[in-house]
Chains A and B, each alone.
Chain A
Amino acid sequence: MKRAYLQIIILYCLKKLQGQRTIYSILHLLNGKKSSQTIQDAHLFQLTRLFKTFEQLSRDELDRYTEDMERQSWISNNEIGHYTITPEGERILQDVLLKCPLPTSLNGWKHHKSTDVFWGRLSLLVQVISHLNNHHTKYLPVQKKTSIHKWLKSFLLTSGSARNEVGIILYKELLKCFEGLCDISPAVLTLRLTGHNRIGLTAEQAAEQLGLGLAYYRIQFLAALHYLMECVGRNPGSFPLMDKVLSGLDESIPLTLSTEKTYNLLNQGLSIDEIAKIRRLKRSTIEDHVVELALNVSGFDITPYVSNNIQESILHAAHRSNSRQLKHIRQLIPQAEYFEIRLVLARFGEGK
């Protein structure tokens, strides 16, 4: 069961998708594809936390996992050719998630741009401190990216602490952070750290030592990093050093280039139809952009596109039908357009 945790994640996604999307939407989600469709789906079906958690997953692998699950009757095809989870699948999913739950701190979407760089900085910083402590200057850095090396140099110059104290402060801050981490062992991170005379483990080795499957290990590793970032971000005053490690990391949500253009034109006061004409795009494409903006730009006002009245009735209907399928909501309020429903779900969809 351990080995197949990735399969469980796929199963979890299928359950959330409720048969409304193809299996490959999961591939795009886990790979972290930056298309409007993938991003909107992630929000619509509450899968944002898994965004870009398995960048390496290939189509072939996904196919193999899917075939295997179908053979075991965990999933089956519905009338429009999409997979849905079967009662047997539900049972397995619950069973595994009870034993190996998704860590609460996992938040792929929020941190997908900065996780790698954060790990790069942290691991190099620890290595450099360890060698400094031992007055050792000749060693091979575990990170090769010049951008990370440059960051480290300027960090050491501007950290404001004496060199021999940086390690002590970092140690205290990490310990304090980890105190609140209850569902993951900090070992998932520390085992990977390299220092003087002790080289860190690879992901595979760490997973083996902890007795975890590689996929579940990976999820925990990411979640532990997300946890640190969240912990420091929420209370930077308590973690001044770690805050510097995170500084300049772009946590803002990226817009696709095309959406960016539309956004600029909207800000100039143009209407959707005018923008479609100017950009020689279909109205529906511009509508997609507006939905993306509603998802990602906090404070983006949707009332110019949906009146408050309709907003309320859509929310009401969504609540009543307990479905995220636009069709069902539309049946309840035929006066609302699909675009309006999508917009409202995007604005108020997740956790609200």
Chain B
Amino acid sequence: MKLETILKQRFGYASFRPGQKEVITSVLSGKSTVAMLPTGTGKSLCYQLPGYLLEGQVIIISPLLSLMQDQAEQLMLNGEKKVIAFNSFLTHEEKKQSLMNLSKYKFIFISPEMLHFEAVLNRLKKLKIALFVVDEAHCISQWGYDFRPDYLKLGEIRKQLGRPLTMALTATATPEVKEDIKKSLYITSSNEFIFSVDRPNISLKVEHLSSYREKNERLVELTKRLQGPGIIYFSSKKMAEQTAEHLKKHGIGRVMSYHGGMSQENRILVQQQFIHGQLDLICATSAFGMGINKENIRYVIHFHMPLQMESYLQEIGRAGRDGDNSIAIFLYAPGDEQLPYQLAESEVPDGIQLDWIKGWLKENKGVLANLSQYEEQIRLLSGLTETQWRVFEDSFHRKYKMGLEIERIFDEMKTYNQIRLESKRQSIEEVYRWISINKCRRQHILSHFNEKKTEVIENCCDICGLEFNFFTQKNNKENQENLLYDWKNHLQALLIPGE
């Protein structure tokens, strides 16, 4: 059967997006494949479609629970019933149940920490694995912007599973990161597909303002004038909420905030309202957007500075999936770079904290073998955040198993953390540099990924010149809805079949 036929039948699309067909053909030919496809181009289709042509199960390793959940739901929405998201959301009973019946599923999403369990791994070994997918594969590299220690073990697991056909997917990877991915996964021979990170239909604009207050005022102005729908990204839940309220007060009607602290029911409703065009604007944290298929987002504004160019590209990549012109606006005021520095530091344990732990461990040598049981105590003692603890525990455990002395372990950790922190600082500086340059912003991003800008793009960026009016509202429609709500009419529309 032709790939296009399956695409139409299973997914309802008439044609592939750039890159998809090449990647799919590659794995179907039995070759492990490393693919870099920019955000917003339909990465998940690359493993979904082959799933229907290969015999056996597709295992998808996904780093973020919310992302995994979204992707699994997306498949179910498409009418696929044999999907399971195997993660800590499941109750103990559900885990046991689905583990027993694992072979009944076609698509098995699994979080890396679940692979630690012997029982899970043993079950996986019994399957016929058609395709082993590592999503967000850059998390494997210590030099990637989103390193996850759990990902380091994936290579070992792949070996234990008998080196199944593998697909590593990422949206952003520098050449070093790409090499790291192959090495860590023990992929010896593979096809590689690297597509440009560039999204020519998204114009780039940085606005320099003098203060926080001015940024807020500018936000009101922009959201009044820009053609929606749009998203504004914040680094904090509180700010996202407050700003949504602030904008409402200034007459921006259909706006809501969205963040991880909301109830599940409300998150679904707000997300669906946005997709169905009942809202024009979302004030969000980075929790919003992953796995959300909305084609016509016209603008993305950043109110806070992201921690690296990679996540910035991910977030602005949610605009313009329909290929129409869209704009990404970055609001900067002096001092804004302080917040990302603080966030970066809070992710890595510092030297003083490590000394505390070292002292305590020396007095309590008995706990060394099963450190995780003392998490609460150690965290209380040293003030490690959850992320810091995760990083600490993992690397301690590995080094301890190698038989290193405590002194040595902590020395190595300190050095390593220094390097990590330094690389995070550099990433932030990179963003800062990008804000401050007076050369083409697109060119700058591309060169970060060893790419060159090849075509001339209209409305490229604020440096090359862009026509702001191009992105403003054409028809000044007032909110005509919701003037009169009649519950009987609504109920009727919901329940009574139309003609």
Contact = CB atoms under 8 A, between A and B. Distances in A.
Given A144-B264, A193-B490, A199 B498 contact: no
Given A129-B494, A171-B491, A202 B73 contact: no
A326 interface: no
B496 A202 contact: no
Contact of A133 (B270, B273, B485, B496): B496
Given A140-B272, A187-B487, A191-B487, A209 B482 contact: yes
A199 B276 contact: yes
Interface string A37-48: 000000000000
A191 B273 CA distance: 13
Interface string A136-152: 01111011101000000
A73 interface: no
A170 interface: yes
A200 B269 contact: yes
Residue of B272, B488, B491, B493 with most partner-chain A CB within 10 A: B491
A297 interface: no
A168 interface: yes
A137 B270 CA distance: 21
A187 B78 CA distance: 33
Nearest to A139: B77
B278 A175 contact: no
Contacts of B278: 198-199
Nearest to B268: A142
Interface string B465-499: 00000000000000000100101101111111110
Given A140-B272, A142-B265, A167 B487 contact: no
Contacts of A171: 491-492, 495-496
B66 to A, nearest CB: 13
B364 interface: no
A133 B270 CA distance: 24
- Counting contact residues on chain B (CB < 8 A from A), the size range is 20 to 34
Nearest to B73: A140
B498 A126 contact: no
Residue of B73, B78, B490, B492 with most partner-chain A CB within 10 A: B490
Interface in A82-117: none
Nearest to A187: B487
B79 interface: yes
B494 A185 contact: no
A133 B497 contact: yes
Contact of B268 (A140, A175, A186): A140
Contacts of A200: 269
B266 interface: yes
A315 interface: no
Given A187-B485, A190-B487, A195 B268 contact: no
Nearest to B494: A195
Interface string A166-208: 0110110011000000000111001101111111111111000
B77 A174 contact: no
Contacts of B496: 133, 167-168, 171
B208 to A, nearest CB: 35
Nearest to B273: A199
A331 interface: no
B496 to A, nearest CB: 6
Contact of B266 (A143, A146, A202): A202
Contacts of A202: 256, 265-266, 269-270
Given A140-B73, A186-B487, A126 B494 contact: yes
Nearest to A143: B265
Nearest to B12: A138
B495 A167 contact: yes
A56 to B, nearest CB: 10
A252 interface: no
Contacts of B485: 187, 191, 209
A126 B487 CA distance: 14
A164 interface: yes
A175 B491 CA distance: 9
Nearest to A205: B256
A291 B94 CA distance: 39
Nearest to A120: B265
Contact of B276 (A126, A168, A191, A197): A197
A134 interface: yes
A137 B12 CA distance: 13
Contacts of A185: 487
Contact of B498 (A133, A143, A170): A133
A130 interface: yes
Nearest to A191: B485
Contacts of B268: 140, 142, 144
Contacts of A190: 487, 490-491
A155 to B, nearest CB: 15
Contact of B488 (A138, A146, A175): A175
Contacts of B493: 195, 198
Contacts of A187: 485, 487
Contact of A193 (B77, B256, B494): B494
Nearest to B94: A146
B497 to A, nearest CB: 4
A144 B70 CA distance: 12
Contacts of B273: 199
Nearest to A146: B94
A166 to B, nearest CB: 8
A175 B269 CA distance: 25
Nearest to B89: A144
Interface in B268-318: 268-270, 272-273, 276, 278
B272 A194 contact: yes
B79 A137 contact: yes
21 contacts: A129-B494, A129-B495, A130-B494, A130-B495, A133-B498, A140-B77, A140-B268, A140-B272, A142-B268, A164-B497, A168-B497, A171-B495, A175-B488, A190-B487, A190-B491, A191-B487, A196-B494, A198-B276, A198-B494, A201-B269, A209-B485
Interface of B: 73, 77-79, 94, 256, 264-266, 268-270, 272-273, 276, 278, 482, 485, 487-488, 490-498
Interface of A: 126, 129-130, 133-134, 137-140, 142-144, 146, 164, 167-168, 170-171, 174-175, 185-187, 190-191, 193-205, 209
Given A144-B264, A186-B491, 18 more contacts: A129-B494, A133-B496, A133-B497, A133-B498, A134-B498, A144-B268, A167-B496, A168-B496, A168-B497, A170-B495, A174-B495, A190-B491, A193-B490, A193-B494, A199-B269, A199-B278, A203-B266, A204-B266
- What 7 A-B pairs come out closest when comparing CB atoms? A167-B495, A171-B495, A195-B494, A133-B497, A190-B487, A187-B487, A199-B272
